[in-house]
Amino acid sequence: MPFASIRLVTDDVDRLVAFYERVTGEVAERPAPVFAQLGGPRAILAIAGTQTVAMLGGAVTPASNRSVLVEFEVDDVDAEVARLQPDPQDVVLPPSTMPWGNRSALIRDPDGNVVNLFSRPPA
């Protein structure tokens, strides 16, 4: 079974799309005002308005994630954080070297979801 995507549900699609376009440097595909997607053959990050999940009876609530990290592998964590200039209150973990060798920074997107920018140690 191939992995298809991760979908973030939000009350403000435009705001969240703008954030992830800035992070990835990509322009999102927008087949409808309430839906966008970024990515390619390896993975898709979908962003959808609450209207797209209305029939789920409240099973999905925007801006309430406390268990999933959206992760992007980057060449230089410190440079990406400097480029993005997140608000200090949105920085969960400044650029740090993890015990397993990865360099990582955790920031929050506009809905409060945690985004991990990481690089692997040199081989």
Which domains does the chain show, CATH number per domain?
1-57 (3.10.180.10), 68-123 (3.10.180.10)
Question: Residue 6 forms beta bridges with which residues?
Answer: 45
State in Å, rounded, how far the first CA of the chain is from the last one: 31
Q: How confident is the model at residue 66 (pLDDT cuts 50, 70, 90)?
A: confident
Task: Quickly count helices (H) and strands (E) in the chain.
Answer: 2, 8
pTM of the entire predicted model: 0.92
Using the predicted structure, report yes or no on whether residue 9 has a pLDDT greater than 80.
yes
Alpha-carbon span 37 to 88, nearest angstrom = 27
DSSP 120: P
Tokens encoding 7: 């979908």
Using the predicted structure, report yes or no on whether residue 32 has a pLDDT greater than 90.
yes
Q: What is the mean pLDDT of residues 72-101?
A: 97
